[in-house]
Structure formats: C-alpha cells, structure tokens
Amino acid sequence: MDWLTTVDHKKIGILYFIAGFFFFLIGGLEAIIIRIQLLKPMNDVVAGDTFNELITMHGTTMIFLAAMPLLFALMNAVIPLQIGARDVAFPFLNSLGFWTFFFGGVLLNLSWFAGAVPDAGWTSYVPLAGSIYSSGHGVDYYVLGLQIAGIGTLLGGINFMATIINMRAPGLTFMRLPMFTWAIFITSALIVFAFPALTVGLVALMFDRLFNANFFDVANGGNGVLWEHIFWVFGHPEVYILIVPAFGIISEVVSTFSRKRLFGYSSMVFATVLIAFLGFMVWAHHMFTTGLGPVANGLFSIATMLIAVPTGVKIFNWLFTLWGGSIRFNTASLFAIGFIPTFVMGGVTGVMLASAPADYQYHDTYFVVAHFHYVIVGGLILGIFSGLHYWWPKMFGRLLNETLGQITFWTFFIGFHLTFFVQHFLGLLGMPRRVYTYLGGQGYDDMNFISTIGAILMGIGTIAFLINVFVTWAKPRNASNDPWEDGRSLEWTIPSPPPEYNFKQTPLVRGYDAWWKEKMEGKTAMTPAEPVGSIHMPSPSILPFIMSVGLFIAGFGFMYDQLIVAGVGLAITLGCMVVRSLIDDHGFHIEPEEQDKGVQA
C-alpha cells in the first residue's frame, strides 16, 4: 500500500526502474521475435501483419515505456540528492507522473490481448494509421496509450526544472552543479517544449479516427505531410531527451572512476545547451525524401551537421578527463567507456545521414536502423546500465555483483555490435526497413543471420543483469555512504540508501564537485547549512493512482465508442483534482529524535 501512495522520490525512482525494466523485457522479447523472423529469407515464423505489429510495439515500448522511465528512475533517485534537497518541488505530481506513465503503458500493451495491436510503425504515418487503412482499434491503443503516458512525462519535465531552479542547497550555484544535474535540467526543458507537439499530433489523429475530423484525410482537404511535421517536431527533440541524460551519466562515471574532475566543465555545459537548442531546428531531416524541396532539404542538412560540433566537443572532453587519470575498470565504468566509441560510431553515421542527397539512398533502409540503434542502444542503454550499476548502492544499499556485471557488459556489448554493425551494410546493399522478410540471393542472408545471433547475445546479457538484480536483493544492505570511495558529489555524503528525509541538515556547498572538495581538505562530512531541526515532509496520497486509473478508463471509453465510460473516467480524474485543490495537504514533520533513530525510506 505504501508503494501505491508514496510521493517519495526515492521510492518513485524504484517504481520507475521496475516498470521501465519490465517494459524493456517486453520490448526485448518483441525484438528477438523480429530477429528470428529475419533469420533467413522468406521465413514464416510470423506473417507480415504480425511483424508490423511487432516492430511498432518494439519501437514504441522501448522509447516511451522502457528508455524514458529508466531515465526517470535515475533522475528521481539521484537529482534531489545531488542538489542537497529533501525531495522534488512537486512530490504529488511526481507520483502522478509515474502512475500515468504506468497506466498508459499498460493500456498500450493490452492491445496484444485485445487482438488489436497498432501496426503503422512507432512513427504512425498517415494515411496508413488513419481510420480507412487501419480500421481496427490498433492505432487507437497507440494514440491513447501514448497520450496518457505523455502526460506523466510532461509533468516530470516541469517537476525537475522547478526542482533544480528552486531547491539547490546553499552555495550550489548553477556552474557548480554536477554534470548529471545539468543534463537533467536541459532534458527537462526539452521535455517541456517538445511533448506538447506530440500531444497535439495525437489529439488530431484521435479526432480523425474517432470523431471523423479531417486533419489528415486527403479526400477532405487534410494533409498527411502535416502529421510528419508535427510528429518530428516532437520526435527529434525526443531523441535528445533520450541521449542527453546519458551524456550526464557518462560525465559522472568517467570522472569518478578516473579520479579526475570533468575536463572542460563550462564547455560541456555550453555544448549540451547548444545540442538541445539545435535539436529543435533539425526535425525535417527525417523528411528528406518527403519532397519538401531543395531549399528546405539544404537548410536542414546544414543545421543537422552543425549538431556534430558540440557533440564532438563532449567526446573529446570525456577522453581528456580520462587522460592523466587513474582509471578503474568495473562494470559501471566499462559501460561508460564502451559508450564512447560506440556512440561516436552512431554519431558519424548521423553526419552521413545529414547530407540530404546521400540520405535519399539511406532513408528508410537498414542503414538508418543501424544508426539509431547505435545511438540509442549503444548510447543511451549503455549509459543507463552504467548509471544503474553506479548508483545501485545508493538506491538499494548493496553493490551489484561484479562478476555478473562483467558478464552482462561483455555479452551485451559484443552482442550489440554483432547485431547492428552489419545492418549498416544491409541498408547500403538495398534492404529497406520495416520489411517482414526478404528474397534470397540478394546478399542479405549472412548478415541477417549474424544480426540475429547478436540479438540473442544481447538477450543473454539482459538476463545476466536480471539475475544480478535478484542475487543482490538477497544480500545484506550494508553499502557505505561512499562505496566507490571516489564519489565527488553530494549523494555520496549520506547513507546508502538514504533516510526518508535525505539530509539531516542541508549541506553547505563550497565549490564544484562539492564532496570531493571537502575530502581533499581532509573533512569527513559536509558542513551543514542549517541547525538540526524538525523536517517537513510531504504526505503520501492515493489520488495520483486513482487519477491515472480514471484516465485509463477514459481511454478505453473513447476507443470503444462508449462516451459515457469516457466521461466517467474523466470525471474521476477531474474529481480528484478538485479534491486535491480543496483539501490542503500540509505534510508531516520528522522530529530530531526520530531522525537519530534512522528513519528508513
């Protein structure tokens, strides 16, 4: 019951991790089936329509229900600790964000059981995704599932921006923030300004499908290319939402495990801001073959190439952080070190794709599939694994097993390259993407075979991690405050896991790498910025859970043309909002005597 009503960012972080990893396994299973179907030419493990459902669900689940929640898990677990705060700015909204994501994800995946699975790709282009050519309910699950889940993400973005702006410990100026906090701050801004575009796109598609609107219905004056614009205005910043947190994680891990401060901190901050800003100006590079004309294609080509510059700056700054350092290899740092060359490979194919005339060949082929898996899996997922292993002791009070961790890393890393490196060539040799099979004798057979073997290896690596999680769960909770011994930022100054209130006394920050600075001056703890006192905490609430259930019900009501059900669902949600507004929540206090007893989260 505690887990249903919690507003504690640490618990919410764990909830995001469990749910995110659960969806990661589902998305992974979908991927394995896809690869088994593509193992050999004209294979018949699944038919074309099921295959299209698999690729749609794989992409949608992995991006929205696995990658983003796993990032939110780390954001929640770490950010308040890194800034010396006791929770986020809006703990209630934090919980609401989780439950809407969860129920949105459940709604989307219930499509498998309803026998109406979306099958127009994660990009859901119209008219294929419109009511004429997708007459079943499949795409409705996509629209409503994402709409509900997207609310949660938007709330999360607002929450973390406000938290980082308003709740930093005394002395923690912006240019003293840990790089992960900067990354999350920038990511949150991306979320706040990118997700509403998706909201409108989904509303328009929903209105077309359910209420006979004509946004995208060509026969009535609608325009399918409009969907592409709206989707990618969201979709491109979305991929930066995915990767910027990983950049932050790499900065932390590389710095800690080379015992050196981050090289070029201000350049890193500036580069990340520039990447995010430019990320809003390049969306049409996903539409080079749509026929926008040479002026548009030319401008978007150049803008896209420009993003390579700040990205390169970051790569070199990481390398020069390692340079001259004392590098310790463990699972966390191996994942971060593996990230660097892998992400660079993904980034350079990105620059290749940026050249529009060349992209006329690459677009919609396996070359693109290779590129984005290199940056998302080879970038983001390696980053997430790194962050999970790094912050695991802080979240759970135990270190993950190192042997199992190395098995995870090597199988996943090698499996990843086997799966996706050959796909670059498949695309160049003429293999389009989203094809459920291919003819023999075109030169695709061997590489597809290798790719499938790689995917199975990645699955094994994932299972190794899962085993690691279970094996570790049984161990005693005896990690120290600073188990890596070289922690540089504030989260390593408090117990692992932290007490419910995080900091008994808000710390005073005297410089960048606040904890490292104190350690180098011989101190064994942070200087407090306030006396011991009564700590004000936010109260738990069941309302976020109920509000999400309301939206879930409304989703089904809209989908199946039961407008009364939809109305009831919305009324539940709105009713909870009214209750929340009318009944003031003043929180509760933890007194000094209870603090000394060690109130466990």
Partner 1 sequence: MSAHDHVEGHLPHEPEKATLEARNKILGFWLFLGAEVVLFGTLFAAFLALRHSVGDGPTAGELFQLPMVFAATMILLTSSLTSVFAVQAMHHHNKKSMVTWLIVTILLGLAFLGLEIYEFVEYVHEGHKFTTSAFSSSFYTLVGFHGAHVAFGVVWIALVIGQVFKKGLTVVTAPKVYISAMYWHFIDVVWVFIFTVVYLMGKVAG
Partner 2 sequence: MKRWPVMKRLLPLLTGLVLLLTACGREDLSTLNPQGPVAEKQFELMKLSIGIMALVVVVVFAICIYVLIRFRRKKGDKAIPEQVEGNHKLEVIWTVIPIVLLLILGVPTIQQVFGLAKDYSKDKDAVQVKVTAHQYWWEFEYTDYGITTAQDLIVPTGKKISFELAAADVKHSFWIPSIGGKMDTNPGSTNRMFLEFPKEGVFRGKCAELCGPSHALMDFKAKAVSQESFDRWVAAMKAPAVMPADAELAEKFTSMCLSCHAVGENGGNSAPNLTGIGGRETVGGFLFNDEGGGAEQHLKDWITDPQGIKKGAMMPGAEDTGLTEEEIAGIAKYLAEYKLDY
Binding site for partner 1 (CB under 8 A): 89-90, 93, 154, 157-159, 161-162, 165-167, 192-197, 199-201, 203-204, 207-208, 211-215, 217, 220-223, 226, 229-230, 233, 536, 578, 581-582, 584, 586-587
- Give least dist CB 282 to partner 1, A: 17
If contact means CB under 5 to 8 A according to the sort of partner, which of partner 1, partner 2, none does residue 207 touch?
Answer: partner 1
How far apart CA 537 and CA 86 sit, in angstroms, is 8
If contact means CB under 5 to 8 A according to the sort of partner, which of partner 1, partner 2, none does residue 264 touch?
Answer: partner 2
Among 236, 150, 156, CA closest to 195 = 150
Residue 432 DSSP code: B
Closest to partner 1 by CB, 433 vs 580, is: 580
Closest to partner 2 by CB, 170 vs 264, is: 264
Closest to partner 2 by CB, 8 vs 359, is: 359
- Give least dist CB 324 to partner 2, A: 6
- φ/ψ (deg, to 5) at 273: -60, -40
Closest to partner 2 by CB, 325 vs 495, is: 325
DSSP string for 6-33: ---HHHHHHHHHHHHHHHHHHHHHHHHH
- Give least dist CB 552 to partner 2, A: 29
If contact means CB under 5 to 8 A according to the sort of partner, which of partner 1, partner 2, none does residue 233 touch?
Answer: partner 1
Closest to partner 1 by CB, 51 vs 64, is: 64
- Give least dist CB 196 to partner 1, A: 4
- Give least dist CB 280 to partner 1, A: 10
If contact means CB under 5 to 8 A according to the sort of partner, which of partner 2, partner 1, none does residue 45 touch?
Answer: none
Among 489, 392, 482, CA closest to 168 = 489
Closest to partner 2 by CB, 334 vs 399, is: 334
Whether cis (ω within 30° of 0) applies to the bond prior to 592 is: no
Cβ distance 188 to 100 under 8 Å?
Answer: no
- Give least dist CB 230 to partner 1, A: 6
How far apart CA 397 and CA 417 sit, in angstroms, is 33
How far apart CA 84 and CA 528 sit, in angstroms, is 10
How many residues are given for the chain?
Answer: 601
Which residues, 6 or more positions from 137, have their beta carbon under 8 angstroms from its beta carbon?
Answer: 111, 114, 116, 559, 560
- Give least dist CB 67 to partner 2, A: 22
If contact means CB under 5 to 8 A according to the sort of partner, which of partner 1, partner 2, none does residue 403 touch?
Answer: none
- Give least dist CB 304 to partner 2, A: 10
Q: Which helix (H) or strand (E) holds 535?
A: strand 535-537
Alpha-carbon 213 to chain mean position: 33
If contact means CB under 5 to 8 A according to the sort of partner, which of partner 1, partner 2, none does residue 127 touch?
Answer: partner 2
- Give least dist CB 449 to partner 1, A: 44
How far apart CA 212 and CA 279 sit, in angstroms, is 34
Closest to partner 2 by CB, 305 vs 466, is: 305
C-alpha distances out from residue 267 to 259, 264, 271, 316, 416, Å: 20, 5, 6, 11, 31
Whether cis (ω within 30° of 0) applies to the bond prior to 499 is: no
- Give least dist CB 247 to partner 2, A: 15
If contact means CB under 5 to 8 A according to the sort of partner, which of partner 1, partner 2, none does residue 430 touch?
Answer: partner 2
C-alpha distances out from residue 532 to 168, 232, 386, 506, 568, Å: 18, 51, 35, 9, 48
If contact means CB under 5 to 8 A according to the sort of partner, which of partner 2, partner 1, none does residue 421 touch?
Answer: partner 2
If contact means CB under 5 to 8 A according to the sort of partner, which of partner 2, partner 1, none does residue 258 touch?
Answer: partner 2
Residue 509 gets the label, from left (phi > 0), alpha (psi -120 to 50) or beta, of beta
Cβ distance 374 to 338 under 8 Å?
Answer: no
If contact means CB under 5 to 8 A according to the sort of partner, which of partner 1, partner 2, none does residue 194 touch?
Answer: partner 1
Closest to partner 1 by CB, 15 vs 202, is: 202
Closest to partner 1 by CB, 226 vs 351, is: 226
Question: Which amino acid is present at 552?
Answer: F
